[in-house]
Structure 1
Amino acid sequence: MSAKKKTIVGIILLSITLIIGLIFYGLYLMADEDKYGDLVYAKEKAEDGDLILKCSKEYFSNKESEFDEIGIIEKSFGKVYVWDNKNTLKKSLFDWCERQNAQKVIILRPKRKVKTEKIPKIEGKYNYLLNSTEYEKITETL
């Protein structure tokens, strides 16, 4: 086989491999978005130690959401987990949010290290954390 034919065959094989790789990468991204839905953006922006607030009750646009649950995010090997506020139970982000019917989720990044056992509920809610200067809002999903 001549050098010209070998080069053409090599380019064709490389092109086919690249196209197949891009197809599989696209399918991976679609599967990730199908599983997480709106949470896929929260999954990408979240970092270790971020706080996640969840509103389990239905809310209306003219009424303030009541964030009644809090957790700490842990990222490990490309997956996102949430520890409960007592640091005793670890669930995947999907299980913590979707399977428990979260209506709204907000991720806050503390400006300094925080222990969640020290974060109290005020009037049964964690809403006061949204206005705190110690936390930066990273993302919000509806």
Structure 2
Amino acid sequence: PVAFVIVPLFGFANAGVSVAGLGLADLFLPLPLGIALGLFVGKQLGIFAAVWLCAKLKWAARPKNASWVQIYGVSLLCGIGFTMSLFIGGLAFPDPTRAEAVKIGVLMGSLLSALAGAAVLRFARPPIRQK
């Protein structure tokens, strides 16, 4: 319960995001949408491509009992970067009027990454074990 309920609630509460008066159109403004897509699309593609390239170049071996679908699911989960994303967003956009948009983008990207990663890992089949 601590890892799955209390810690995420603590992080959300400390983010200080006000959802009062937040409309659906606010989610699709360029700044929050760009941040959300950067976390969701950029992280998964970058991490998965790096792992795939390292495996193909034989710089690293894929874990024995992990399928590529499972590795992709973990790559999706890497988009959850909540704390550092808020920190970097604050440095990139120091204007206080943009702070809420940064927080909304980070929350959207993190939530989307968490849901998609959990879904992929939930339905991913392990590779067939060879003897």
TM-score category, normalised to shorter length: under 0.3
Larger Rg belongs to: 1
Larger strand proportion, structure 1 or 2? 1
TM-score by length of 2: 0.25
Larger helix proportion, structure 1 or 2? 2
The structure whose RCO (Cα within 8 Å, separation 6+) is larger is 2
TM-score by length of 1: 0.24
